[in-house]
Chain A
């Protein structure tokens, strides 16, 4: 059962081979045993989880269950869940018990009947690519405990890779679903901006943040995504579109598929072993009937610089709400109101979050706005236009997800710029607002490699189809780390 797909779990629950309470207990026991080493979960509440499982069992018994009712999942601790501690990986919210549900939580648990196994560790306020900026300590990669799981959705990635949960949610502002998926041998999908509601998802960079599924396969991602999406009046950027079944095209043959290979993703800066695995995956796609075309994303080298203006600018504004007045941490001693703000924020935020707030404050300040913020927004347009041009000659773009396999804990922690460059292939996708995936495509020295798939706007169904067909022909996604029993 631990390794079963969501479809298999759904069938087992429907056939009464196992109850949701039994299934959830299986995973809760595993969390209890393995989480002390991995640190993937920051909050587990057996009683709450089993109550949800019992309710799911009642739904199954009464014939009102949906396809995923009773299946346990892990929630990234960026999603507010009523009655659950919701920390966003920060001391600022270490004791914050949310009084309301995020839309994603409401949809997955109340509507679809999934069971929450708890809240997963993450980089503080989703700012990081290694999960080392969490106030609750780093998460360890199940493939090598001396290495990072990636970030910021590192806890979700480690949890699913170690089978502490069948699937999990993540959020992706610059690669935070795709990069940890790549580093932990998972399939992860960042939807088109606006497809998944951001209501109750603690904001980092609002024009880039997007929630999505992280799981063992494209099929699992499709089923989970079906429960997460939908128009939401409480998110002003939510898109009002017809509901679609993301699993509908999974089996569609790939004959005639045109794969765009941007020359900028196949040049210098990527580990040779990673590149070889990515090229082998593309050769496999050719065997499946796809053809490759050369495309170019000439401004993609500007995506990291533009991102580190836009994302911190939005973060400095979003995080101004943490002032010690309405919720969260408040410093113990202060002389006056201003001093309370200054001390609360100095003590409540970690170093990386402070750095990004300072960058954002500077680029938005008087006299610098045009040179930095407006220039970054203009470059954002150039980057988005590059994709529009590229998609004229191809259906899907492929390349590496991350320039290296999982790096060692501490290896990049002292140098923010080195850390930022681990997202060179993923960030452009967020700036353009496109959907992107990472799919397991091989190993280098025992560590997983991810293949990135980028689709046109609203092409999630197609991306999942392209990933699923590859997973029918290969078995990389079925490999599991050793030594976790």
Chain B
């Protein structure tokens, strides 16, 4: 398998990473080298093998529905690029 330049640009867009034509070209070479390594997997017959998502097969815990954390909004928003009145500011999305 090898990725076309168009595919590289499409993935970069899905990942929301702006990529110039020159960057896409060098990325294409690197990614295809990596996929060549990954392709070794395709020769393995894994029919009937249960996929392993996690190192320990344990189920998710549930906790009681009670307040556990204190309100630290001011501290958390202090590290944001732009806030106002307790809200995170982003460029306008609705005209």
Distance of B87 from chain A, by nearest CB (Å)? 11
- A308 B11 Cβ-Cβ under 8 A: no
Question: Which residue from chain B places its CB closest to the CB of A194 in the assembled complex?
Answer: B56
Chain A residues within 8 Å of B75, by CB = 99-100
Q: With A355-B30, A371-B42, A417-B33 as given contacts, are A377 and B91 in contact (CB-CB < 8 Å)?
A: no
Query: Beta-carbon contacts of B1-29 to A below 8 Å, as 1s and 0s?
Result: 00100011001111111110000000100
Chain B residues within 8 Å of A341, by CB = 16
Tell me, in angstroms, the Cα distance from A255 to B19 when the chains sit together.
Answer: 59
Question: Which residue from chain A places its CB closest to the CB of B63 in the assembled complex?
Answer: A233
Residues of A within 8 Å of B, CB-based: how many? Answer: 74
Q: With A236-B60, A415-B33, A417-B37 as given contacts, are A361 and B14 in contact (CB-CB < 8 Å)?
A: yes
Which residues of A, 312-341, contact B by the 8 Å Cβ criterion?
Answer: 316, 320, 323-330, 334-341
- Of B15, B49, B60, B91, which contacts A361 at CB under 8 A? B15
Q: With A330-B82, A378-B46 as given contacts, are A305 and B56 in contact (CB-CB < 8 Å)?
A: no
For the side of the interface on B, what is the size category? Answer: 35 or more
Chain A residues within 8 Å of B92, by CB = 336-337
Q: Does B67 contact A (CB under 8 A)?
A: no
- A96 B44 Cβ-Cβ under 8 A: no
- Of B8, B42, B56, B79, which contacts A99 at CB under 8 A? B79
Stretch at the interface among A124-132, A379-387, A445-453, A471-479: A379-387
Chain A residues within 8 Å of B14, by CB = 361, 365
Distance of A378 from chain B, by nearest CB (Å)? 4
- Of B11, B19, B50, which contacts A381 at CB under 8 A? B50
- A345 B18 Cβ-Cβ under 8 A: yes
Query: Beta-carbon contacts of B36-71 to A below 8 Å, as 1s and 0s?
Result: 111111101010011111111010110100001000
A100-B75, A365-B11 known; 11 new pairs, CB 8 Å cut-off, are A99-B72, A309-B41, A326-B88, A335-B91, A336-B92, A342-B18, A358-B31, A359-B34, A359-B35, A379-B41, A384-B55
Residues of A within 8 A of B (CB): 96-100, 192-194, 207-208, 233, 236-237, 239, 299, 301-302, 304-306, 308-309, 316, 320, 323-330, 334-343, 345-346, 349, 354-355, 357-359, 361-362, 365, 371-372, 374-382, 384, 415-417, 420, 430-433, 457
Residues of B within 8 A of A (CB): 3, 7-8, 11-19, 27, 30-31, 33-42, 44, 46, 49-56, 58, 60-61, 63, 68, 72, 75-76, 78-82, 88, 90-93
